[in-house]
Each structure stands twice: as C-alpha cells, then as structure tokens.
Chains A and B, each alone.
Chain A
Amino acid sequence: MASTDVTRQLETNVRPLSMSGHVGFDSLPDQLVSRSTGQGFCFNILCIGETGVGKSTLMDTLFNTNFENSESTHFEPKVKLRAQTYQLQESNVQLKLTVVNTVGFGDQMNKEDSYQHVVNYIDAQFESYLQEELKIKRSLHNYHDTRIHACLYFIAPTGHSLKSLDLVTMKKLDSKVNIIPVIAKADTISKSELHKFKIKIMSELVSNGVQIYQFPIDDENVAKINTTMNSHLPFAVVGSTEEVKIGNKMVKARQYPWGVVQVENESHCDFVKLREMLICVNMEDLREQTHTRHYELYRRCKLEEMGFTDTDAENKPVSLQETYETKRQEFLFELQKREEEMRQMFVQRVKEKETELKDAERELQGKFEHLKRLHQEERVKLDEKKTMLEDEMSGFSKKKIAAELLQAQAFTGSMNIKKDKDRKNSGFM
C-alpha cells in the first residue's frame, strides 16, 4: 500500500530558463483577450453635476450615439440616481455600458446631504458585488458588474473657483471611486480665463486633499501620453450631437452667430483628450483600480465593521470560519436571551391581564348582587301592596255584599209592605 506520507520538495528558487525553440505560449494574451471578447466588457460611468450642465449631451457625444435622455426638471426634492444600461458594439467588441446620472444634484435649497445619496449608491454596488463574492454557490464570471469604474465630475464654468458643494462631494467620493473632474460647457470661458481656472481648481483640490484619478505612468507604452494628459487636468469639454458643415465635412459642433465651436478640434476644447484618456488608453486601468483598490478597501472596512479580523488577540491568524463561528455562537446566545426576555414579558402581561379581569369580574358580581337585592325589595314592596290591595278588595266586596243584602232586605221588606198593602187593599174588596 503506497504510504500516504508525502515527502514533497518544493523548490522555491524560480530560475529563468531559455528555450531552444518556439513553444507558442506567446499567444496567451490573445487567448485571454478572445475569451473576454466572447464574454463582453462592462463599463460603468457615473456623471455628477448640476442639472443642465451638459452631462447627457456629453455622454451622447462621447459614445457617438443617442441615449434618448429627456431633459430633467429642476424641482426634484432630493437627489436621485438614474442608471441606464446600453449594449454597444464596435467591430467585434461588445460593451455593456451603464451610465448613471445624478438627477436633481445641486437644485435643492438645502444641499447638505446631496452627496450622501451618491455615496450610498456607490456603496450599494460594492455591497452587491461583495454579497455575490461571499455566496457559497456563486457565478462571478457571469456576474454583471455594476460597480462604478469612473466618475465624471462636472464643474460649472464660473471661471472663479470650485463651489463648496463640489469640494465636499469630491472629498467624500475620492476614496470610493476614480474621480475625473471636467469643466463643462467650456465654450463660455475664454482661453486665458480657462488656464487660470484650471490652475485654481487643481490647487484647490490639492489643498483640500482630494485625490482625483491620476492616469497611470508605470507602463512605458502609455507613460508619456499619460503624463502629458495629467498636466491638462481638468479637461474642458464641450458636448454636441448636432453637426455643422465645415469646409466639406460634417463635424460635431455648436453654431453661434460669432463662430462655430468644433467639438473634436483640439484647439477648441479638450474633448478629444477626454475620449482618448477615458476610453482608448485607460479604460482597463480604471476597471482594475476600481476592483483592486476601491473595492478592496470597501470590503476590508465592511468585514472589519462586522467584526471579522485576520488575527485575533494573540496575533494568531484567525480564519474567517472561526470568527464566523464565534460570531454565530454569540448571535444565537443573544437570540436566546432575547427570547427569554420576551417570554417573561409575555408571562407578566398575562398575569396583569388576569388580575384585571378578576377585578372586573368581582365588580360585576357586586353589581349583580346589588341589583338582586334591589329587585327583592321591590318585590316585597309589591307583595305588600298586593296584599293591601287584596284586603281592600275583599273588604270592599264584603261591604258590597252587605250593602246588597241590606238593599235586598229593604226591598223585600218594602215588597212585603207593598204586598201587605195590596192584600189589605184587596182584602177590602
């Protein structure tokens, strides 16, 4: 019988080795990508900004399609988040794009908890992913990832500085999501003002400790372009889905009496830069940062909040299972305690009710007796009256008989007299 003692020599010195010919695993990245292409990609953008600042138009322009968003009203009582999912396809790549819009942001008179709704929404997405990951029977590779990968924060083009609402919101969001600030409706600001505005914004962000998303510079392929772009933040964008004829081409632009602002002209606005950075160069990095940094942070905080730790008091590693077991014991114990409490309360209440009922019964009994007595007295009285009446009646009837007798006697007497008289009278005849 082969002994089940296993002697294992794990050689941990990993040596580089050269091969004598072509093996073929350089197709690995292609294999990886073709699998993902089959599954499709997910990308979720959150647009935060005041109503009317141009969020929907920018999304339409960015993705070259019409998302059919109607104009929102300015009279929302509180901030709502509206998420819409679209299935886009370009050549053989399928993209499941979710655009989340904040409706009513900055419209209320009291804007104190505007940011709270946004934070709650982002946390809810992390939470549902965490739930899926913690399930026993899970299907992570089929899961529709709704976590926000990029947050476009639309800054109103005042030309002065950031509003306090902006600062507060961005500060709350910077550890939860990748924030990319953009200056909306940039065609209202002149070039020189824009330059000053950008510097002002960046310095305010830095002085308030807001960490916006920095394009990654560790990959040599994109380091150069990312570094240049980092210096152009925040991007000043103009959105438009209408086309105007310039020269002999139709380009996306906004037509004014004094000129035409071309969206895709780099000297007019930074739209092309935004599209480059957001989609063409860094989409994958945004997704990765969301998963490895923001989600992990959320997960860690959530699990620690629930009382799970990696090491217990003696610094020994504690497995999640053990912690869970102890927690479950605690919970069941508390459940039992509560049950006991409730039972006791119930018993007490029953007792109280019982005494109450007994009192009521006694009272009722007393009343009954009282009534009975009254009734008896009444009856006695009535009996007396009855006997009196009967006596009277019998007395009266006696009198009546006596009177009648007398009358009869008197009558017969008179009759006799009369008869006598008659005989006397007749006797003379």
Chain B
Amino acid sequence: MAEPQSKPDPDPEPKTEATVTGQDLFGYVGIESVLDQMKRKAVKTGFEFNIMVVGQSGLGKSTLVNTLFKSKVSRKSCNPSFEEGISKTVNLQSISHVIEEKGVKMKLTVIDTPGFGDQINNLNCWEPIMKYINEQYEKYLKEEININRKRKIPDTRVHCCVYFVPPTGHCLRPLDLEFMKRLGKVVSVVPVIAKSDTLTLDERQRFKERIRQDLWTNGIKVYPQKEYDEDAEDRILNDKIREKIPFAVVGTDKEHQVNGKNVLGRKTNWGVIEVENVAHCEFANLRDLLIRSHLQDLKDVTHNIHYETYRVRRLNESNLNGIGLSASPLASMNGTAVRKESESNL
C-alpha cells in the first residue's frame, strides 16, 4: 500500500577522476582571480572575533587587551566610573566594538571575567566560564539546525581564551593547571605570563621552561595544538611558536619618548620598558600570533574542531535521552523514509 518513493536516480555513469596537471593549460584562463573575488566578498561581509581574557584581578588583562587593539576596548574603559572591587561571584562581561583598518571591518568582542580566582575558595570557579562557552556553542547549534536559517549565523563563540599566569617565577599553580586542563578541551587557550617586567631574562626563560614542562606533564593542550597541524609548513611554523609559549607580556597604553621616538612603554625610575620591543618583552610576538598571522586559524580551529566536538557530544546526548537507539539519529532521519519503504515490501 506504500507508494514507491521517487529516489533521485539519474542513472549516471561512474565518475571518472582524471587529473589534468597545470602544464596542460594552454593559456590564460583566469582561475586565480577567484582569490580576489573571495577577498572582496570577505571584506564586504566583515569579520567577527571573540576573545576572552581570564586571570586574577590586577594582572593587567584589560590593559593588555587595550594595547593589543590599540583602543579602549576593555570594559574598564567603557565604564570609567565603575568602582573596581572584588566581586563575590565570577561575572562574565562582554563588550563589542567595531573596528576598521584599511577597509577591513572587524566586530571585536572582548569577554572579561572579573572575579576569577579572587575568592578564598576557588573550587569550580571555572564553571561559569565553561557554561558561557558552551552556551555560545549551543546558540550557534540551534541556529544551524533551524529550517529557516539566517544567511550568516551570528558567531558569538569564543575563538580564543587568553589565560594570564602571574609572574611568580616558579611554576604553574594548581588553579592554573585545573583551569587550563578543563578549558583546553573546549576552547583554544593561549597562556601568557602577565606583568613580566618583574622577571629578568634568565628568570623568564627558566619560568617558561617550567611552565612548558608542567603543561606537558599534565597533558594540557594549548594553542597551537600539535594534532591540528595540517601540513609540514604549518608544523614548522607552529613548532617555532610552541617553543616560545607562553609569551611574557607587558601592557600599557601610555606613550613615552625614547631616543626621539614616541613608543608605547612603561616608565620607571630605572628605565623605560618598551612594549613593542622584542628585546624587552614578547608582546609583539603575541600580537602577531593572535592578530596578524593566526586569527583566521583560531576561528577555523574553533569552528571545525571545538564546535564539531560539542555538536557530536550534544547530538549523541539528545539521542540517548530518547529511546536509546545507538545508531546515528540524524542520519537515520533520512533513513527512516527508506526503512518505511523496505518494511512495506515484506
């Protein structure tokens, strides 16, 4: 009694994969102009970037973000009259700005976490942060599986989480290890050594080595993760970066005169610490990594890996909450139609 389902059956011949190499192009075709087309389209739609800064109060998170983007993007700058006190809970505050450079528009969202690690008992202080990150994934997932969905799904997922390690000079504290272990699984974590002008170069080197050792011993994966290197070129580039992390940074928004030039720096009685001078601190390396070379890569890793992991987990969960079929539900959603047909044939 079931009507036969009209399966798309164009009766095609088997696809033949013939490889024609570049030498056989007898002349100009114009394929490479597709790169320009892509660029133009990308510039027209604009970019989005969401960065989260996590660390105890007083480590210079807001200042660093301001220095990175050379404008007052942090929440402190937006609420100048806001009295900074120790908050009783971990608040997450996100501020969005649109910044433009040479025609490229970017919607930058900075998510700040005041109150992290500030209490006496800091057990589970990462939970609000994990919750926030997962909520963003959930929002995106919901929009993606809608029937009528928007042309461009608004992306509020956290692309990068900068974790500030206090410059003790010894090793990572239990709070740091716990946090990075948990968050390394859902988001790209970039650890930095905050206020690194308190460490001499030797101390800094030793501290970094200790930190890398600790990370490796505890199995913590920070950005750039080794497993996601696509080809040899990426691996070489990322290995160089992995040798240098965590970056020791200093942030400031004040300018001073050094050798007749105006530089960003912190002035002390014993000298001026130039922020953008790679001999003084590694701020420039961090900025290059985050903005100039790996920004798109951060977004890609978030979209292709972290978001997909979340999606798989979520869809499996909702499947198990149902009847308990172990087969993939959404795939069999299309298979139910087929199964109905086969049942009727019995």
Contact surface of A with B, Cβ cutoff 8 Å? 1-12, 14-33, 35-38, 41, 62-68, 78, 80-93, 95, 117-118, 120-121, 123-124, 127, 131, 134-138, 140-141, 219, 221-222, 275-276, 279-285, 288, 292, 296, 299-300, 303-304, 306, 308-310, 319-321, 324-325, 327-329, 331-332, 334-335, 338, 342
Contact = CB atoms under 8 A, between A and B. Distances in A.
Given A35-B296, A280-B30, A19 B99 contact: yes
A105 to B, nearest CB: 12
Contacts of A284: 34, 37-38, 41
Given A11-B94, A331-B336, A95 B31 contact: yes
Interface in B281-335: 287-288, 291-297, 300, 304, 308, 311-312, 315-316, 318, 322-323, 328-331, 333-334
Nearest to B116: A2
Contact of B104 (A16, A28, A304): A28
Contacts of B115: 2
A28 B47 contact: yes
B32 interface: yes
A110 B126 CA distance: 70
B295 A28 contact: yes
B268 interface: no
A308 B18 CA distance: 40
Given A1-B121, A300-B148, A23 B291 contact: yes
Interface in B33-66: 33-35, 37-44, 47, 49
13 contacts: A2-B128, A9-B91, A25-B104, A26-B101, A32-B296, A33-B39, A33-B42, A67-B18, A81-B12, A85-B16, A90-B32, A92-B32, A319-B145
Contacts of B28: 64
A233 B336 CA distance: 45
B8 interface: yes
A318 to B, nearest CB: 10
A222 B29 CA distance: 19
Contacts of A35: 296-297, 300
B18 A281 contact: no
Given A8-B91, A26-B103, A320-B147, 19 more contacts: A1-B123, A17-B72, A17-B73, A18-B99, A24-B288, A25-B291, A27-B293, A65-B25, A66-B24, A67-B20, A85-B16, A88-B31, A93-B31, A134-B331, A296-B149, A300-B147, A319-B145, A328-B322, A328-B336
Contacts of B10: 80-81, 117-118, 120-121, 124
Contacts of B308: 138
B27 interface: yes
Contact of A86 (B9, B18, B131, B149): B18
Contact of B32 (A93, A140, A304): A93
A19 B92 CA distance: 25
Contacts of A282: 37
B17 interface: yes
A127 B333 CA distance: 13
Contacts of B18: 67-68, 84-86
Contact of B346 (A18, A22, A342): A342
Contacts of A62: 29
Contacts of A17: 71-73, 97-99
A6 B12 contact: no
A68 B294 CA distance: 42
B35 A37 contact: yes
B292 A90 contact: no
> Which residue among A29, A68, A308 has the maximum number of chain B CB atoms within 10 Å of its CB?
A29
Nearest to B99: A17
B20 A88 contact: yes
B329 A328 contact: yes
B100 A16 contact: yes
Contact of A136 (B15, B38, B78, B330): B330
A87 B21 contact: yes
Contact of A6 (B35, B41, B132): B132
Contacts of A327: 333, 336
Nearest to B92: A8
A133 B88 CA distance: 43
A308 B329 contact: no
A2 B8 contact: no
Interface in B100-142: 100-104, 106-107, 115, 119, 121-125, 127-128, 131-132, 142
A6 B92 contact: yes
B232 to A, nearest CB: 12
Given A18-B71, A141-B304, A31 B121 contact: no
Nearest to A279: B30
A124 B8 contact: yes
B337 interface: yes
A16 B124 contact: no
Contacts of A335: 343
A28 B323 contact: no
A405 to B, nearest CB: 93
4 smallest CB-CB distances across A and B, nearest first, come from: A89-B22, A284-B37, A31-B296, A124-B8
Contacts of B149: 296
Nearest to A304: B147
A304 B147 CA distance: 8
A113 to B, nearest CB: 11
A88 B27 CA distance: 12
Which interface residue of B16, B43, B288, B330 has the most chain A CB atoms within 10 A?
B330
A282 B316 CA distance: 40
B258 interface: no
A19 B333 contact: no
A304 B107 CA distance: 34
Given A4-B127, A20-B71, A28-B104, A279 B93 contact: no
B39 A30 contact: yes
B151 interface: yes
A5 B115 CA distance: 12
Interface string B178-201: 000000000000000000000000
